[in-house]
């Protein structure tokens, strides 16, 4: 299931309410302040009417002027405080959304990540969550406060003059009909604009993730066109959304201007006939003026909600991707804990339903302790064995057991706490060398760290670095060589004190001296730990206690180097090739 092919879920407003619920009292306080701000504004026309009456009757106006001044000051103060409370609450809603979404994305199952674009996921946690700010203040609160203010204004307008109120409502009803046609278009355009932002982010992440390859291939102009096209599409969809939003806003503004002119004309006629006095007309015109604020607020709330609901829908899609259950980290094995035993029984697996099977009934047993090497041609399914052990993927059929217990019955944190895993490309995260080494065991003491650094021959590197362990390694470890990154990955795995150590081509980028040293290290580790190695170098294979030969997703032979050289033609061919490569 891809990010754009998700099952239908709860309405976007339900997700919004979940994010808002922890901040409901602060939001309510801000809404009350907004209502009080509106109330002080609505009192001004009535005071103005009395002021005009006092002037006409030659009465003192000091009290009316002081009251108007107090209302103006109160309006400004309440408005400022209310705006701050609402904005702060909106930022808190965005923070909560980003926390929950980032936590969920970290728990995504690997197949879901494989089918998603990293840049698009980043857009959902950055730009999409940012839109919740406006939805919270301008939409959720705006609908409530704007609606109440509108109702209060209409009631007071009816109290002043029902005839002029009927004229005003007729104009607003016409504008409402037009808005009803525009709003759905805003929703569609906003969703497409947000999708375009996600595509642009995915395109940028794709290029930056392989920038050296792009440069080495001379592909900058072609990739530049791709990025520009993505940016152009984002611009086009955003302009389309802005066009409909502007149309909605101008429709509301135009309707209020027409209402003002119509009221002025009809009201002037009523003053001329003596139906109402001039003070009543002025008060009603002031109400029309104040009516612009809640109408504009409501229209803005609706249009922004359309934009926000598009963002909420995209957030929902991410939250419906398959994820691992949330659980507390499990403690790492204590020193001296018994090594793990592993068994595959008739395991079949494929990465997706529309792809061929990678494993066709894989069966083998690995006893506790010792080193087991996996060899075979490229595509035989060796690395997939490690991914299944880590439960990055689930087998289609068959069983995998650790210590005689089906992997499906293990809690994921407890299972992975028992395993040290060195991936084929030995990824290093941006940050300091210390952060990378302690990634899997942040509680490791200095003595343990120093011992592992010496074991993996990283102590010399640390001595040469300007800031030692606190030296920043750059994006994806670009300040380290390939061999240094591999040694960092191995050290990181050893610091976890694993009961089962998985090494996927862990020495492929090491020179002969460091490879020999690490080979001896792995042999020492294998005396107290179960070690599984995917290897192509004969020097690594011959040191193994047992060798599993894989071909085309099946296990074709298991044995020692001496047994397999004479007993399996494929292994003999691979071994001969390795001998030739070594001789060269």
- Sheet of 554-559: strands edge to edge? 419-422, 500-504, 530-534, 370-375, 546-551, 554-559
Q: What is the pLDDT of residue 402?
A: 93
Cβ atoms of 555 and 374 closer than 8 Å: no
- C-alpha 540/C-alpha 422 separation (Å) is 15
What are the CA-CA distances from residue 104 to residues 98, 99, 113, 321, 466 (Å)?
10, 9, 12, 9, 37
pTM, entire model: 0.72
Q: What is the pLDDT of residue 6?
A: 40
- C-alpha 218/C-alpha 213 separation (Å) is 9
Spell out the domain ranges in the chain.
12-161+276-319, 342-581
Q: What is the pLDDT of residue 580?
A: 37
Where do we find the tokens 């086009």?
236
Question: Tokens at residue 401, please?
Answer: 């057991």
φ/ψ of 367, rounded to 5, equals -70, 165
DSSP 7-59: PP-S-HHHHHHHHHGGGHHHHHHHHHHHHHHHHHHHHHHHHHHHHHHHHHTT-
- The architecture in CATH of the region 12-161+276-319 reads Up-down Bundle (1.20)
Q: What is the pLDDT of residue 583?
A: 34
- C-alpha 171/C-alpha 167 separation (Å) is 7
Where do we find the tokens 């061929």?
356
Where do we find the tokens 């109290």?
159
Cβ atoms of 303 and 180 closer than 8 Å: no
Question: Tokens at residue 551, please?
Answer: 């071909």
Q: What is the pLDDT of residue 365?
A: 93
- C-alpha 419/C-alpha 428 separation (Å) is 18
- C-alpha 368/C-alpha 550 separation (Å) is 21
The CA-based angle 52-57-60, given to 5 degrees, is 75
Sequential pLDDT tens for the chain (584 residues): 345 444 444 466 777 778 888 888 887 888 788 778 777 777 777 777 777 776 766 677 777 778 878 877 887 888 788 778 877 888 888 888 888 888 888 888 888 888 877 777 887 888 788 877 777 766 666 666 667 777 777 787 787 788 888 887 887 777 777 777 777 777 777 777 777 777 777 777 777 766 666 776 677 777 778 778 877 887 887 788 777 777 776 776 677 777 778 878 888 888 888 788 887 777 777 777 777 777 776 777 777 777 777 778 888 888 888 888 877 778 888 877 889 999 999 999 998 888 899 999 999 999 998 899 999 888 888 999 999 999 999 999 999 999 999 999 998 889 988 999 988 877 888 788 888 888 888 888 888 889 888 888 888 888 888 888 888 887 777 788 877 888 888 888 888 889 999 998 776 666 777 777 777 778 888 888 899 998 877 777 888 889 999 998 999 999 988 889 888 888 888 888 764 344 33
What are the CA-CA distances from residue 469 to residues 139, 436, 451, 578 (Å)?
49, 10, 14, 37
Cβ atoms of 270 and 160 closer than 8 Å: no
Q: What is the pLDDT of residue 144?
A: 67
- C-alpha 36/C-alpha 80 separation (Å) is 12
The CATH topology of domain 342-581 is Rossmann fold (3.40.50)
Q: How many CA atoms lie within 13 A of 242 on its CB side?
A: 6
Q: What is the pLDDT of residue 578?
A: 66
- Burial of 208 by CB count in 10 Å (0-12 exposed, 13-18 middle, 19+ buried)? exposed
């Amino acid at each position: 299931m891809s990010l754009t092919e998700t099952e239908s879920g709860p309405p976007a407003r339900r997700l919004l309410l979940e994010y808002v619920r922890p901040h409901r009292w602060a939001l309510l306080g801000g809404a009350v302040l907004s209502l009080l701000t509106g109330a002080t504004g609505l009192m001004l026309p009535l005071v103005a009417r009395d002021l005009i009456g006092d002037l006409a009757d030659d009465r003192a106006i000091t009290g009316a002027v002081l009251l108007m001044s107090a209302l103006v000051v109160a309006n400004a103060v309440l408005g400022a405080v209310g705006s701050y409370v609402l904005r702060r609450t909106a930022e808190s809603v965005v923070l909560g959304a980003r926390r929950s979404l980032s936590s969920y994305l970290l728990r995504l199952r690997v197949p879901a990540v494989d089918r998603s674009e990293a840049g698009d996921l980043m857009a959902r946690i950055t730009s999409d969550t940012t839109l919740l700010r406006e939805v919270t203040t301008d939409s959720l609160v705006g609908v409530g406060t704007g609606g109440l203010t509108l109702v209060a204004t209409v009631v007071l307008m009816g109290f002043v003059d029902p005839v002029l109120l009927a004229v005003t409502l007729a104009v607003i009803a016409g504008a409402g009909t037009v808005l009803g046609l525009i709003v759905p278009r805003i929703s569609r355009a906003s969703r497409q604009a947000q999708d375009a932002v996600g595509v642009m982010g995915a395109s940028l992440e794709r290029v930056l993730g392989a920038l050296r390859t792009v440069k080495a291939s001379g592909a900058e102009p072609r990739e530049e066109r791709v990025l520009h096209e993505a940016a152009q599409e984002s611009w086009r969809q955003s302009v389309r959304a802005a066009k409909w939003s502007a149309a909605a806003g101008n429709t509301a503004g135009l309707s209020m201007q027409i209402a003002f002119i119509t009221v002025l004309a009809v009201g002037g006629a009523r003053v001329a006939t003596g139906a109402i006095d001039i003070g009543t007309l002025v008060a009603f015109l002031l109400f029309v003026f104040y009516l612009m604020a809640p109408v504009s607020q409501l229209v803005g709330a609706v249009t922004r909600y359309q934009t926000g609901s598009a963002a909420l829908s995209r957030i929902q899609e991410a939250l419906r991707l398959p994820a691992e259950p949330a659980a507390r980290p499990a403690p790492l094995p204590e020193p001296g804990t018994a090594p793990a035993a592993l068994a595959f029984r008739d395991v079949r697996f494929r990465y997706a339903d529309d792809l061929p099977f990678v494993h066709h009934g894989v069966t083998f047993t690995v006893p506790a302790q010792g080193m087991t090497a996996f060899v075979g041609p490229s595509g035989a399914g060796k690395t997939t064995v490690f991914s299944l052990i880590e439960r990055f993927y689930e087998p289609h059929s068959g069983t995998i057991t650790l210590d005689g217990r089906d992997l499906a019955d293990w809690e994921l944190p407890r299972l992975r706490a028992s395993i040290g895993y060195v991936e084929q490309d030995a990824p290093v995260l941006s940050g300091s060398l210390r952060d990378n080494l302690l990634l899997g065991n942040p509680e490791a003491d200095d003595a343990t760290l120093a011992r592992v650094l010496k074991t993996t021959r990283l102590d010399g590197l640390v001595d040469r670095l300007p800031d030692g362990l606190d030296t920043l390694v750059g994006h994806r470890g670009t300040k380290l060589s390939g061999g240094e990154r591999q040694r960092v990955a191995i050290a990181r795995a050893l610091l976890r004190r694993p009961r089962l150590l998985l090494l996927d081509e862990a020495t492929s980028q090491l020179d002969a001296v460091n490879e020999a040293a690490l080979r001896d290290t792995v042999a020492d580790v294998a005396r107290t730990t179960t070690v599984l190695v995917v290897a192509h170098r004969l020097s690594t294979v011959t040191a193994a206690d047992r060798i599993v030969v894989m071909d085309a997703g099946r296990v074709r032979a298991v044995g020692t180097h001496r047994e397999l050289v004479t007993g399996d033609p494929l292994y003999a061919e691979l071994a001969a090739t390795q001998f030739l490569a070594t001789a060269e």
